[in-house]
Amino acid sequence: MLSAKLRAALGNLLPDAGEDEAYLGPPTLRDAAVLIAFTDRPDPGVILTQRPQWLRSHAGQVAFPGGKIDPGDRDAIDAALREAEEEIGLDRRDVMVAGMTEAYLSGSGYRITPVLGVIPPDLPLDPNPDEVEDWFEVPLDTLFDPANYQRQQAHWQGQDRHYYDMAWQGRRIWGVTAGIIINLARRMPAGWHR
């Protein structure tokens, strides 16, 4: 049974509403999906991963479990569940899928579909060291509070880009991951996390 706080949060996140932040990507976008795994506890959290420093792409960044939608995937939900299984050992049978939100368009050329799911608390997750250095859980109240984020600007690929940035327990949550979080947080009523 879902906690009252988690039921209320998911009720505001689905169906999708509100304006999303998105960069205009290149004309041809590659489809990807991420799993936003909410832990079902009185004070829910969200599972995030830390990518290894040695990766060629997005080294050391905080991310949701996810990746490209492969030809063998039935849809974005199947891709997000497959990626979460590959990256952190999250068995798809442990995920109650609540639905999907609109895609986030990244400046790096991806159309990313966030899949919302609920998992039991304290699962023994086992990160794949080829893809994930570590995983951690951030309290929903902290992660989805827009006041915890700073809007930043950087010059990237010849353009000025704006992005969100949050520090949490020595980790930096920013870029696409923070953009997806902010999009979802905007759908929550004022003061929901108090």
Predicted local distance difference test score (pLDDT) of residue 192? 58
Residue 103: helix, strand or coil by DSSP? coil
**Interatomic CA distance for residues 98 and 81, integer angstroms:** 13
**Residue 192 counted as domain residue:** no
**Residue 115 counted as domain residue:** yes
**Residue 123 counted as domain residue:** yes
**Interatomic CA distance for residues 27 and 83, integer angstroms:** 25
CATH of residue 172: 3.90.79.10
**Residue 190 counted as domain residue:** no
**Interatomic CA distance for residues 181 and 164, integer angstroms:** 9
Range(s) of the domain holding residue 109? 4-185
Per-residue pLDDT tens digits of the chain, which is 194 residues long = 677 777 776 666 654 433 344 444 455 789 999 999 999 999 999 999 998 766 566 555 899 999 999 999 999 999 999 999 999 999 999 999 999 998 998 877 889 999 999 999 999 999 999 889 999 999 999 998 888 888 887 766 677 777 788 899 999 898 889 999 988 888 877 665 55
**Residue 194 counted as domain residue:** no
pTM comes to 0.84
**Interatomic CA distance for residues 76 and 67, integer angstroms:** 10
Total number of domains in the chain = 1
**Interatomic CA distance for residues 22 and 107, integer angstroms:** 8
Predicted local distance difference test score (pLDDT) of residue 15? 45
**Residue 193 counted as domain residue:** no
